Structure 1
């Protein structure tokens, strides 16, 4: 049975605001695009050549149809996805003059958070890696059940587990409770990716290296911190931290940049043989970690040079490397 990379989490609709006129106080139009960090990561993995399954609760409403169609066109396996009666989650996206995206969410009683244990037990049998994170990992009632699932899988020791908190302060409620929930997810994950902005909100005033070490002590084997245009730094249990610079780009926007990085990170780990918990010792190899970071940065950089969450294909990566 061919190994599958499975992504668990929300599939939502990004409503991207566009000014109708020249003045900022004039009405705006909104265009609907498939989105959600987990969906973006799954699409990115598929475009990089991996067999990828999406575990999601997809609404039966019109937006849910858009999401199913997008997943199908992207080659995702939806056999473990749930057909849900609740409405689709919506994100209102605005992009400033510097190309940086900001988000407001409509999440109350939407489909993405209403998981049952039976639904979550349907992880594809051929899964070698499970990624979860973002809103689904800390929005109740489903977050608690997702945490239980990841805890069981970590204890079983067969599947490689990855996590990205993808912090959204407006949705995370009490700060201390949010930190506790994030740390529970870190403790069940082998690979953790977070942005420097995530860490600044979770641990104000703390050095990135100190937070990374805390997460390694909790149970992670690899912690990667992205730093926007300044690149990314990898922290691991064996070996010194490794920093790689960002690529010079012509920025269009940052929508999906972190998700593209995560896709590139996981793809490269798997391609280099780190596709099971038993192979995590390979992270002590400095050259391997450099290759992982450089490819993840490249995938993210290409995404930033075009509008929206539109990660590159493997052929685009190859063409850039050849050029």
Structure 2
């Protein structure tokens, strides 16, 4: 089972014409939903309130096959993120977040553990997430999406310190070019990615919206164009890219539950493999931006992976 750790919340979407709607969201929760819709057994360790919005989120997770970890429902109200959309569908966010998870120290780990976003930096839960990542890295491939929210984080140096410690335990990091602009202003993204490889990561994928995505790996660097589609909004696009990337690594056998070195398969990828995996992730994101809210694709909607890994039995 894939374990995802991080915030669940309700996205309150305010469109440029003033229309409002509410959708279950939260970056890690979106990744869990994306994996569940693709047929992967997945558990989400999160914080939800025992309130109306919390019930809506729980029902949405259940419909997508996501299991809640023990301790995920508490007394605090369910968190919210208000997404203000411009005329192009791009979002800026305001947050009302509680991140104080219970029971992370008792969770068991499968072949992949994913975390990121607000849960990685916001107290009091960020310390527990960091300890979990350290423990998980010994037996699981840890994937990480920094997904920085500057409106919640007023101390960039503290964020950088936390991120640097986390990256050292993560096999795969997916990050947006906007995040890198805030984290490392004036430094080229591939230079940052190479720094993260030196810290311990095996693969860094940088998403750049309409410019596609870039992978930096010990084997070299790869650029893959974005999959074109009409954009309704960009809510959840990066999360759908992340779930698509994890899906590619899992369904092709790159990540298995019996690997002595959990990152070995990622380390051994060829540039051709990476190109195919990134295309798969980009298509997942493109499907998501073509509809309102964070609605990642199902298995039937996402085209099959076509690369050298098809010999391993991938459909």
Q: TM-score, normalised by structure 2?
A: 0.91
1:121 aligns with 2:105: yes
The aligned counterpart of 1:289 is 274
Are residues 1:179 and 2:160 paired?
A: yes
- Report the equivalent of 2:6: 9
SS where residue 166 of structure 1 aligns? coil
State the partner residue of 1:197. Answer: 178
* CA distance in structure 1 between the aligned counterparts of 2:300 and 2:245, rounded to whole angstroms: 17
Q: Evaluate the alpha carbon distance shift between residue 319 and residue 243 of structure 1 in structure 2; reply closer, same or farther with a 3 A threshold.
A: closer
Render the CA deviation track for 1:18-57: whole Å, top value 9, x for unaligned. 46xx6xxxxx453221000011100001111211111112
Name stretches of at least 5 consecutive residues in structure 2 with no aligned partner: 257-261, 307-315
How far did residue 274 of structure 1 move?
2.0
Deviation track 1:282-308 (CA, whole Å, cap 9, x = no partner) reads: 544122111110100010011111111
Equivalents in 2 of 1:168, 1:82: separation in Å? Answer: 22
1:214 aligns with 2:165: no
Distance in 2 separating the partners of 1:217 and 1:18: 42
Question: Kindly tell me: are residues 281 and 32 of structure 1, through their superposed partners in 2, closer, same or farther at Cα, counting changes over 3 Å?
Answer: closer
Instruction: Tell me the distance in 2 between the aligned counterparts of 1:172 and 1:57.
Output: 19
Q: Following TM superposition, where does structure 1 have runs of at least 4 consecutive aligned residues deviating by more than 6 angstroms?
A: none
Find the counterpart in structure 1 of residue 208 from structure 2: 227
CA RMSD between the two structures: 1.8
> What is the SS of the residue equivalent to 2:220?
coil
Query: Aligned equivalents of 1:284 and 1:312: distance in 2?
Result: 25
Where 2:195 maps in the other structure, the secondary structure is helix
The aligned counterpart of 2:311 is none
C-alpha spacing 1:29/1:302, structure 2 compared with 1 (3 Å): closer
d(CA) in 2 for partners of 1:166, 1:14: 16
User: 1:242-269: per-residue Cα shift (whole Å, max 9, x none)?
Assistant: 1111122211111100000000001101
Q: Find the partner of 1:92 among 82, 102, 114.
A: 82
1:50 and 2:40 correspond: yes
SS at match of 2:215: strand
1:149 corresponding residue in structure 2: 132
Number of residue pairs matched? 301
Q: State the match for 1:312 in structure 2.
A: 297
> Deviations for 1:161-204, whole angstroms, at most 9, x for unmatched residues?
01001011111111111111111111111100000000010000
1:244 corresponding residue in structure 2 = 224
Give unmatched runs, 5+ long, in structure 1.
23-27
Q: Distance in 1 between matches of 2:305 and 2:92?
A: 29
Give the distance between the partners of 2:263 and 2:147, measured in 1 at CA.
27
Query: Which range is displaced more, 199-208 or 66-75?
Result: 66-75
Structure 2 contact 46–69 (Cα < 8 Å) conserved: no
CA offset digits 1:127-181 (Å, max 9, x no partner): 2100000001100111011101111222xx2111010010111111111111111
1:25 corresponds in structure 2 to none
Q: TM-score, normalised by structure 1?
A: 0.89
* 8 Å contact kept, 2:280–2:305: no
Structure 1 position 319, deviation (Å)? 8.6
